[in-house]
Amino acid sequence: MIKIDELVFIHQISAPCHLAILAESVGLKTRVVSQISELSVDKDDHSFCLVPQRGMALDNKGIPLVASRLIAQFPVALYQVDQDRLEAEAALLLGIKGLLFADQGMDSLLTGLKKMLAGELWYDSSLISRVFSQLIKRFDGDKEGVQDTAVMLQMLTSRERTVINLVSSGARNKEIAHSLCISEHTVKAHISSIFRKTQSRNRVELLRWAQTYQSHFRLCS
Protein backbone atom coordinates (compact mmCIF):
# COMPACT_ATOMS: atom_id res chain seq x y z
CA MET A 1 0.00 0.00 0.00
CA ILE A 2 1.30 3.45 -0.96
CA LYS A 3 1.95 5.75 1.99
CA ILE A 4 -0.31 8.82 1.85
CA ASP A 5 1.23 12.00 3.24
CA GLU A 6 -1.53 14.46 2.47
CA LEU A 7 -5.14 14.90 1.41
CA VAL A 8 -5.41 17.38 -1.45
CA PHE A 9 -8.87 18.85 -2.03
CA ILE A 10 -9.77 20.40 -5.38
CA HIS A 11 -12.04 23.28 -4.38
CA GLN A 12 -12.97 26.01 -6.83
CA ILE A 13 -15.58 28.06 -4.99
CA SER A 14 -14.99 30.94 -2.57
CA ALA A 15 -16.75 29.26 0.40
CA PRO A 16 -14.56 27.19 2.76
CA CYS A 17 -14.01 23.51 1.98
CA HIS A 18 -15.87 22.01 4.93
CA LEU A 19 -14.66 18.46 4.30
CA ALA A 20 -11.03 19.62 4.41
CA ILE A 21 -11.71 21.44 7.66
CA LEU A 22 -13.36 18.32 9.08
CA ALA A 23 -10.41 16.12 8.02
CA GLU A 24 -7.92 18.52 9.53
CA SER A 25 -9.84 18.60 12.80
CA VAL A 26 -9.09 14.89 13.35
CA GLY A 27 -5.40 15.25 12.60
CA LEU A 28 -5.30 14.52 8.86
CA LYS A 29 -2.87 16.67 6.89
CA THR A 30 -4.80 18.57 4.22
CA ARG A 31 -4.24 21.07 1.44
CA VAL A 32 -6.81 22.90 -0.66
CA VAL A 33 -6.06 23.89 -4.27
CA SER A 34 -8.29 25.52 -6.85
CA GLN A 35 -6.59 24.19 -10.00
CA ILE A 36 -4.87 20.92 -10.83
CA SER A 37 -1.98 22.98 -12.22
CA GLU A 38 -1.07 23.61 -8.58
CA LEU A 39 -0.21 19.92 -8.24
CA SER A 40 3.27 18.65 -9.03
CA VAL A 41 3.68 14.96 -9.80
CA ASP A 42 7.12 14.82 -8.14
CA LYS A 43 6.12 16.91 -5.13
CA ASP A 44 2.69 15.38 -4.63
CA ASP A 45 3.33 11.75 -5.50
CA HIS A 46 2.17 10.64 -2.03
CA SER A 47 -1.00 12.73 -2.07
CA PHE A 48 -4.59 11.51 -2.13
CA CYS A 49 -6.78 13.77 -4.29
CA LEU A 50 -10.42 14.54 -3.56
CA VAL A 51 -12.43 16.03 -6.41
CA PRO A 52 -15.91 17.50 -5.95
CA GLN A 53 -18.67 16.51 -8.30
CA ARG A 54 -20.64 19.67 -7.71
CA GLY A 55 -19.53 22.66 -9.73
CA MET A 56 -17.24 20.63 -12.02
CA ALA A 57 -17.47 19.76 -15.70
CA LEU A 58 -18.79 16.19 -15.90
CA ASP A 59 -18.71 13.41 -18.47
CA ASN A 60 -21.85 11.53 -19.50
CA LYS A 61 -21.53 9.24 -16.45
CA GLY A 62 -21.45 12.17 -14.03
CA ILE A 63 -17.72 11.81 -13.33
CA PRO A 64 -15.70 15.05 -13.15
CA LEU A 65 -13.37 15.39 -16.13
CA VAL A 66 -10.65 16.54 -13.76
CA ALA A 67 -10.84 13.22 -11.89
CA SER A 68 -10.30 11.28 -15.12
CA ARG A 69 -7.15 13.33 -15.76
CA LEU A 70 -5.74 12.90 -12.26
CA ILE A 71 -6.40 9.20 -11.84
CA ALA A 72 -3.31 8.13 -13.78
CA GLN A 73 -1.09 9.97 -11.30
CA PHE A 74 -2.84 9.92 -7.92
CA PRO A 75 -5.39 7.92 -5.94
CA VAL A 76 -8.63 9.87 -6.42
CA ALA A 77 -11.98 9.96 -4.62
CA LEU A 78 -15.05 12.10 -5.25
CA TYR A 79 -16.82 14.26 -2.68
CA GLN A 80 -19.94 16.45 -2.73
CA VAL A 81 -21.48 13.71 -4.87
CA ASP A 82 -25.18 13.76 -5.75
CA GLN A 83 -26.27 10.12 -5.99
CA ASP A 84 -28.78 10.70 -8.78
CA ARG A 85 -26.18 12.45 -10.98
CA LEU A 86 -23.48 9.78 -10.95
CA GLU A 87 -23.15 6.24 -12.28
CA ALA A 88 -21.27 4.72 -9.34
CA GLU A 89 -20.38 1.57 -11.29
CA ALA A 90 -18.61 3.65 -13.95
CA ALA A 91 -16.66 5.49 -11.24
CA LEU A 92 -15.56 2.21 -9.67
CA LEU A 93 -14.46 0.73 -13.00
CA LEU A 94 -12.56 3.92 -13.83
CA GLY A 95 -10.51 3.49 -10.67
CA ILE A 96 -12.10 6.08 -8.39
CA LYS A 97 -11.34 4.94 -4.82
CA GLY A 98 -14.64 5.96 -3.28
CA LEU A 99 -17.62 8.30 -3.16
CA LEU A 100 -18.48 10.77 -0.40
CA PHE A 101 -22.05 11.92 -0.86
CA ALA A 102 -23.29 15.43 -0.22
CA ASP A 103 -26.06 14.23 2.08
CA GLN A 104 -23.83 12.05 4.32
CA GLY A 105 -23.21 12.90 7.98
CA MET A 106 -19.80 13.88 9.36
CA ASP A 107 -19.18 10.49 10.98
CA SER A 108 -19.80 8.66 7.71
CA LEU A 109 -17.59 11.09 5.75
CA LEU A 110 -14.70 10.65 8.18
CA THR A 111 -15.10 6.89 8.16
CA GLY A 112 -14.96 6.91 4.37
CA LEU A 113 -11.83 9.06 4.34
CA LYS A 114 -10.04 6.84 6.84
CA LYS A 115 -11.01 3.64 5.02
CA MET A 116 -9.72 4.98 1.71
CA LEU A 117 -6.48 6.17 3.29
CA ALA A 118 -6.07 2.64 4.64
CA GLY A 119 -6.28 1.31 1.08
CA GLU A 120 -9.94 0.24 1.01
CA LEU A 121 -12.60 1.11 -1.55
CA TRP A 122 -15.49 3.18 -0.23
CA TYR A 123 -18.56 2.04 -2.17
CA ASP A 124 -21.78 0.29 -1.36
CA SER A 125 -20.89 -3.36 -0.77
CA SER A 126 -23.63 -4.59 -3.10
CA LEU A 127 -22.18 -2.49 -5.94
CA ILE A 128 -18.70 -3.92 -5.40
CA SER A 129 -20.12 -7.45 -5.36
CA ARG A 130 -22.09 -6.85 -8.55
CA VAL A 131 -19.13 -5.37 -10.44
CA PHE A 132 -16.83 -8.13 -9.20
CA SER A 133 -19.30 -10.78 -10.39
CA GLN A 134 -19.51 -9.12 -13.82
CA LEU A 135 -15.72 -9.06 -14.13
CA ILE A 136 -15.49 -12.74 -13.14
CA LYS A 137 -18.09 -13.66 -15.79
CA ARG A 138 -16.20 -11.65 -18.40
CA PHE A 139 -12.94 -13.35 -17.42
CA ASP A 140 -14.55 -16.79 -17.54
CA GLY A 141 -16.00 -16.00 -20.96
CA ASP A 142 -12.59 -14.97 -22.29
CA LYS A 143 -11.03 -18.08 -20.75
CA GLU A 144 -13.64 -20.32 -22.37
CA GLY A 145 -12.93 -18.68 -25.72
CA VAL A 146 -9.21 -19.41 -25.37
CA GLN A 147 -9.94 -22.98 -24.31
CA ASP A 148 -12.24 -23.49 -27.32
CA THR A 149 -9.51 -22.21 -29.64
CA ALA A 150 -6.93 -24.49 -28.02
CA VAL A 151 -9.23 -27.45 -28.66
CA MET A 152 -9.60 -26.40 -32.31
CA LEU A 153 -5.83 -26.23 -32.71
CA GLN A 154 -5.35 -29.64 -31.12
CA MET A 155 -7.85 -31.07 -33.63
CA LEU A 156 -5.88 -29.71 -36.60
CA THR A 157 -3.32 -32.06 -38.11
CA SER A 158 0.20 -30.89 -38.93
CA ARG A 159 -0.68 -30.89 -42.65
CA GLU A 160 -3.84 -28.86 -42.02
CA ARG A 161 -1.81 -26.26 -40.10
CA THR A 162 0.55 -26.02 -43.05
CA VAL A 163 -2.42 -25.52 -45.39
CA ILE A 164 -3.73 -22.73 -43.13
CA ASN A 165 -0.35 -20.99 -43.30
CA LEU A 166 -0.36 -21.26 -47.09
CA VAL A 167 -3.95 -19.99 -47.35
CA SER A 168 -2.99 -17.09 -45.07
CA SER A 169 -0.12 -16.23 -47.42
CA GLY A 170 -2.60 -15.93 -50.30
CA ALA A 171 -1.87 -19.23 -52.04
CA ARG A 172 -4.66 -20.75 -54.17
CA ASN A 173 -5.53 -24.45 -54.24
CA LYS A 174 -3.33 -25.17 -57.25
CA GLU A 175 -0.36 -23.42 -55.63
CA ILE A 176 -0.93 -25.28 -52.35
CA ALA A 177 -1.09 -28.60 -54.21
CA HIS A 178 2.17 -27.84 -56.03
CA SER A 179 3.89 -26.73 -52.81
CA LEU A 180 2.88 -29.87 -50.91
CA CYS A 181 3.13 -32.29 -53.87
CA ILE A 182 -0.50 -33.37 -53.49
CA SER A 183 -3.55 -33.18 -55.76
CA GLU A 184 -5.97 -30.27 -55.78
CA HIS A 185 -8.68 -32.72 -54.73
CA THR A 186 -6.66 -33.51 -51.57
CA VAL A 187 -6.19 -29.78 -50.94
CA LYS A 188 -9.97 -29.27 -51.14
CA ALA A 189 -10.46 -32.14 -48.67
CA HIS A 190 -7.98 -30.55 -46.25
CA ILE A 191 -9.66 -27.16 -46.54
CA SER A 192 -13.10 -28.69 -46.01
CA SER A 193 -11.81 -30.37 -42.83
CA ILE A 194 -10.19 -27.10 -41.71
CA PHE A 195 -13.45 -25.19 -42.23
CA ARG A 196 -15.26 -27.72 -40.05
CA LYS A 197 -12.68 -27.70 -37.25
CA THR A 198 -12.31 -23.89 -37.11
CA GLN A 199 -16.03 -23.29 -37.62
CA SER A 200 -15.27 -21.19 -40.71
CA ARG A 201 -17.72 -21.03 -43.61
CA ASN A 202 -15.26 -19.79 -46.23
CA ARG A 203 -11.69 -18.60 -46.81
CA VAL A 204 -12.48 -15.10 -45.59
CA GLU A 205 -13.64 -16.40 -42.21
CA LEU A 206 -10.66 -18.77 -42.05
CA LEU A 207 -8.28 -15.85 -42.69
CA ARG A 208 -9.94 -13.87 -39.90
CA TRP A 209 -9.65 -16.86 -37.59
CA ALA A 210 -5.97 -17.32 -38.44
CA GLN A 211 -5.18 -13.61 -38.03
CA THR A 212 -6.86 -13.60 -34.63
CA TYR A 213 -5.22 -16.67 -33.17
CA GLN A 214 -1.84 -17.04 -34.84
CA SER A 215 -0.44 -14.43 -32.44
CA HIS A 216 -1.47 -16.68 -29.50
CA PHE A 217 -0.94 -20.15 -30.98
CA ARG A 218 1.83 -20.75 -33.50
CA LEU A 219 0.43 -22.65 -36.49
CA CYS A 220 3.50 -24.58 -37.50
CA SER A 221 3.81 -27.28 -40.07
Q: What are 51's strand-pairing partners?
A: 78
Long-range contacts of 56-60 (CB under 8 A, 24+ apart): 56/10, 56/12, 58/85
Contacts of 101-104 with C-beta under 8 Å, sequence gap 24+, read 102/54
Full pLDDT tens readout for the chain, 221 residues: 457 788 999 998 888 899 999 999 989 899 999 888 887 655 556 889 999 999 899 998 999 998 988 887 889 999 999 989 999 988 988 889 999 999 999 999 999 999 999 889 999 888 888 887 777 666 655 555 555 556 666 678 888 888 988 888 888 999 999 999 999 999 999 999 888 888 888 888 888 888 776 554 444 44
Report the interhelical angle of 125-155 vs 184-198 (nearest 10°): 160
Specify whether the CB–CB gap between 168 and 207 falls below 8 A: yes
The pLDDT of residue 110 is 92
pLDDT for 218 equals 47
CB 158 within 8 A of CB 196: no
Q: Is the entire prediction scored with pTM above 0.75?
A: no
Q: Classify residue 3 by its DSSP letter.
A: P
**Euclidean distance between the first and final Cα of the chain, in Å?**
49
Q: Where are the domains of the chain?
A: 6-123, 135-213
| Topology (CATH level 3) of domain 135-213 | Arc Repressor Mutant, subunit A (1.10.10)
Is 135-213 in the same CATH topology as 6-123? no
Question: Residue 151: what pLDDT?
Answer: 63
CATH top-level class for 6-123?
alpha beta
